[in-house]
Amino acid sequence: LEEACLNRDIAVVDLLLKHGARDDDCRALAVVVKNKDDILTAKLLSIKAHPDPENRINKKAMSEQIPAASTQFSGLQSLTYSNMFANTPVMINWHCQRCQLSQIRPQWLVDAALHVNPKLRLNPRSQDLVLYAITRLDVSNNSLTWVPSVVFQLQSLRHLNLAHNKIEKLPSEKDSPQWDGGDRGNKKRLKHALKQYSAPLLEELYLQYNRLEVLPDEVFSLPGLVTLDVSNNKLPTLPCKM
C-alpha cells in the first residue's frame, strides 16, 4: 500500500483497499499527506471510519431534507430511501495519525461516511446527505491549526474530540459573509448557512491542549452540549455567555 501511494497509483490503491489492506501504522498516509495528494488522503482516511453501534442518525433533521431531496432527485427512477439517505451511523477515528495532519477537508468527511454507507455512491447527488450519518469524530493528537465550520454543523454528531492539536481559532459567525440583498428565499437560506454552530445533538466537545485565545460565544448556543473541555489553551478570559 505504501509503495502504491509513493507511485500515486490510484488503481492499485483501490484494489488493495478493496481486498482489505490496512494502514494502521499510518506509513502510507504519511506519504500522501507529504505529497499533498488529497484524493489518496481521502481514500486512506475513509477506511478509518466504522459503524457506530452506540448512537443513531438524527432522522428528524434528515427528514427535513426530504422535500428538497425529492426535487433534487426528480426524474430519476427506482430510488429508495436506503440509497437516497444514509442508514448506518458513522464513527470516524483519525486520532494520532502520525503524519502531521494539519487540516480536515469536508470532502474527506463525505468519503469517510460513504465508506460505511456505500449505497450512496450510486447517486452522486445524494453524497452530501451522507454527512447526516456522522455521530462521532475523533481527530485528537494531530497538527490541526483550524477546523472547518461543517464539523460544527453535523446534524447527528454527539462526540467531537479535537484535543491535542495546534488549533488557534474556531469558526465564528463574524467570519461569515454578510447577506447583501436578493429575494427573501435566498436570504432565509443564507441565514441558515451562516449559522456556524448548528449541531443539535453535540454533547461532548474536547478542545484541551490547543492554542485557542478566544472561545466563540456561539459554542454556548449548542443546545445539547453537556461536556466542554478547553483546559491548557491560551484563553485570557472566558466568554460572558458561558
Q: Which residue has the cell 490503491?
A: 13
Is the per-residue pLDDT at 211 higher than 90?
yes
**Secondary element (H or E) of residue 27:** helix 27-34
Contact yes or no for 215/170 (Cβ under 8 A): yes
pTM over 0.75: yes
Question: Tens digit of pLDDT for each residue in 121-133?
Answer: 887 777 778 999 9
Average model confidence (pLDDT) for the chain? 86
Q: Which of 31-35, 73-77, 204-208 is most confident?
A: 204-208
End-to-end distance of the chain based on CA atoms, in angstroms? 47
If pLDDT is split at 50, 70 and 90, which confidence band does 204 have? very high
What span, in angstroms and rounded, lies between the C-alpha atoms of 50 and 92?
Answer: 6
Residue 234 burial class via C-beta count within 10 angstroms: exposed 0-12, middle 13-18, buried 19 and up: exposed
Collect all residues with Cβ–Cβ distance below 8 Å to 123 and sequence separation of at least 6: 73, 76, 79, 83, 84
From the list 100, 208, 214, 112, the residue with the least C-alpha distance to 157 is 112
Question: Tens digit of pLDDT for each residue in 34-76?
Answer: 999 999 999 999 999 999 999 999 999 887 766 555 555 444 4
Contact yes or no for 162/144 (Cβ under 8 A): yes
The CATH number of 48-229 is 3.80.10
pLDDT of residue 80: 58
If pLDDT is split at 50, 70 and 90, which confidence band does 173 have? confident
CA separation (Å) from 69 to 11, 74, 194? 32, 8, 21
pLDDT of residue 34: 92
pLDDT of residue 239: 80
Q: Where are the domains of the chain?
A: 1-47, 48-229
From the list 216, 222, 218, 221, the residue with the least C-alpha distance to 238 is 216
Collect all residues with Cβ–Cβ distance below 8 Å to 116 and sequence separation of at least 6: 49, 50, 51, 86, 88, 90, 133
If pLDDT is split at 50, 70 and 90, which confidence band does 18 have? very high
